[in-house]
Structure 1
Amino acid sequence: MTSLVRHVTIDCSDAYALASFWARVLDSKVSDDDSPGDPEALVETPGAGLLFIRVPEKKSVKNRVHLDLQPQDRTRDEEVERLLALGATLHDDQRRPDGTGWVTLRDPEGNEFCVERSKAERAATEAAQA
């Protein structure tokens, strides 16, 4: 059998605080085993969990790996607004007039992630092009 991704691990300054942000983003929760001040915190998600580990170094360069989010029950633009309200910041806006593109945001510790169009938005674009 092949390997499966169990966790995506993210280095950070405050594991519990960053895990709490991502739990809200993903409509999930921080593991009951974790609490403020812990050196690591886990957010369980379908597929792979997000594991946050406290490290002494601050983020200094662009991420080599990042998450791409696809909204399930709202549009890309609605999701971007929701995430900004949760504490994300806008990094780069690649939305195009035809509805394609994505938005790159940063989490509270500066890690980049992208918000893509929802499945419904993709289908609508493909139908309009057919």
Structure 2
Amino acid sequence: MAGLAFEHLAVNVGDPVAVAEWYVTHLGMTVVRRGDAPAHMHFLADASRRAMIEIYNNPVARADLYRDLHPVQLHVAFTSADPDADTERLVAAGAVLVEHQRHPDGSHLVMLRDPWGLPIQLARRAVPMM
């Protein structure tokens, strides 16, 4: 059996237009596709164009539950060459710092929450994952 290729992770949010704009402006993501009301879906590609997040609104499910989740339950991770500088920049843009993790192998992980509460992680790994 051939393996399946990952396409995207979908995230239901209250204000997809604002969330997508923040991710484009502050995380360097690119809008690949967008849709109009009522869902205002935005497919956002990362800088490598190997992964996508769909940001949208669907009122049949809660859009505010991310603040209730511990970041180890769910987070969106980004690689960072300088987690300290990126953390400072993102906090200035409205993100909230949760914690820094510095590991004995030299890896540096930072957990934050975007301005809407969705956990994001910045990762500088001693040995890259991919």
Q: TM-score, normalising length from structure 1?
A: 0.72
Structure 1 or 2, whichever has the larger Rg, is: 1
Aligned residue number for residue 21 of structure 1: 22
Aligned residue number for residue 106 of structure 1: 113
Equivalent residue letter for 2:87: V
Instruction: Confirm or deny that 1:81 pairs with 2:80.
Output: no
Contact kept in structure 1, 2:34 and 2:40, CA below 8 Å: no
Unaligned runs of 5+ in 2: none
Aligned residue number for residue 66 of structure 1: 75
Unaligned runs of 5+ in 1: 124-130
Contact kept in structure 2, 1:16 and 1:38, CA below 8 Å: no
Q: TM-score, normalising length from structure 2?
A: 0.72
Identity of aligned residues (%): 25
Larger strand percent: 2
C-alpha displacement at 1:22, in angstroms?
1.4
C-alpha displacement at 1:39, in angstroms?
3.0
Aligned residue number for residue 51 of structure 2: 48
With over 3 angstroms needed to count, the CA separation of the structure-2 counterparts of 1:31 and 1:79, relative to structure 1, is same
What is the alpha-carbon distance in structure 1 between the residues aligned to residue 34 and residue 105 of structure 2? 45
What is the alpha-carbon distance in structure 2 between the residues aligned to residue 55 and residue 92 of structure 1? 31
Contact kept in structure 1, 2:39 and 2:58, CA below 8 Å: no
Higher relative contact order (CA 8 A, sep 6+): 1
Aligned pairs, how many? 118
C-alpha displacement at 1:77, in angstroms?
0.7
- Of 36-45 and 19-28, more deviation after overlay is shown by 36-45
Contact kept in structure 2, 1:90 and 1:105, CA below 8 Å: yes
Mapping 1:26-37, distance limit 5 Å: 26-31=27-32, 33-34=34-35
Larger helix percent: 1
Equivalent residue letter for 2:112: L
